Homo-oligomer: A and B are copies of this chain.
């Protein structure tokens, strides 16, 4: 049963484990440094579908199918799916998960959704009302460009601070069994320092990441040295630098252990992705490949996974609003004390 530690953090004493997981990604992601760790790499941007939106749905479906298969599970073994994505009305999830017939809790956390869905899955299993829960999210470069910026065909210029939306999906099955487990978690709250540049999401999200990580450290009386890695979602190069500065100012030096999924997933310069990867599928596919693989191998034993989201929409930006950030955090661990 979940228990509060301090003011914000929640521990999950029954240690809900990630008993299976999978990542399905696009062609470009499959050409990056994590290539060998993905379960499925698409051959093109469409996956044979008639639209990029449908391609994204298929990617999400594929990630769930692989995660179930790798765990020797079928849809009927899952009590609930926690899912969300970046598309308007979360159609990536709806149409991707429609055929499974599993109870669905739709989430919206922008690019923080992998952490938000995994938190909810862990709480459901730790509380006992779900035996097994799936956490899944996705994003697709072309569907995101069309919706948030301009159709690809327009050929818009990208400033150096901009990030490249990852075509990818990550899915975790949470339950009782072997695997890295969720030890503690801290939900995010909205932090908005007034950034209005939609081509600099990293800067908009970094203060939210700092807020959540600092609250977690305070509640748990731990610090950067207690973890093998502090992994943020998709701050990119620009946002990561800012996070380091914000943390330093508060007396927490994360420079030795900080990694960012948006930086990990691409060869930044060679793949021409400017400040790095972004999108729900960025932290989703990195968690569900490299990070969980390394935990299972014992190369990492305690990590903080802190996915960040920019809660704006094209409409809010057009209306002159700033970009509110949010960051949700999980402590994943191999240790059972």
On A, residues with C-beta under 8 Å from B are 1-4, 8, 10, 50-51, 53-54, 79-80, 84, 86-91, 94-95, 97-98, 101-110, 116, 120, 123-124, 126-130, 147, 187-190, 192, 311-316, 319, 321, 324, 326
Contact = CB atoms under 8 A, between A and B. Distances in A.
Given A87-B313, A95-B321, A98-B192, 15 more contacts: A2-B127, A4-B130, A54-B319, A88-B313, A91-B311, A91-B321, A94-B316, A94-B324, A105-B109, A105-B187, A106-B107, A106-B311, A107-B107, A123-B123, A123-B127
Nearest to A190: B98
Contact of A1 (B89, B128, B192): B128
B98 A313 contact: no
Contacts of A90: 108, 311
Contacts of A187: 80, 103-105
Contacts of A311: 89-91, 94, 106
12 contacts: A87-B315, A88-B89, A89-B316, A91-B315, A91-B321, A98-B192, A103-B188, A103-B189, A104-B326, A105-B109, A105-B116, A127-B127
Contact of A129 (B2, B89, B192): B2
A98 B324 contact: yes
A122 to B, nearest CB: 11
A192 B314 CA distance: 29
A109 B87 CA distance: 14
A108 B89 contact: yes
Q: Would you call the interface of chain A mostly helix, strand, loop, or mixed?
A: mixed
A147 B89 CA distance: 11
A71 B106 CA distance: 29
B190 A88 contact: no
Question: Chain B CB within 10 Å — which of A91, A98, A102, A110 has the most?
Answer: A91
A184 B194 CA distance: 42
Contacts of A97: 190
A3 B104 CA distance: 18
B104 A107 contact: no
Contact of A102 (B128, B189, B192): B189
B313 A103 contact: no
Nearest to A189: B103
Nearest to A1: B1
Question: Chain B CB within 10 Å — which of A2, A88, A89, A189 has the most?
Answer: A89
Contact of A3 (B86, B95, B128, B189): B128
B105 A120 contact: yes
A208 to B, nearest CB: 11
B315 A88 contact: yes
A196 B313 CA distance: 26
Question: Chain B CB within 10 Å — which of A84, A312, A321 has the most?
Answer: A321
B127 A1 contact: yes
A276 B248 CA distance: 56
Contacts of A50: 319
Nearest to A120: B105
A3 B311 CA distance: 34
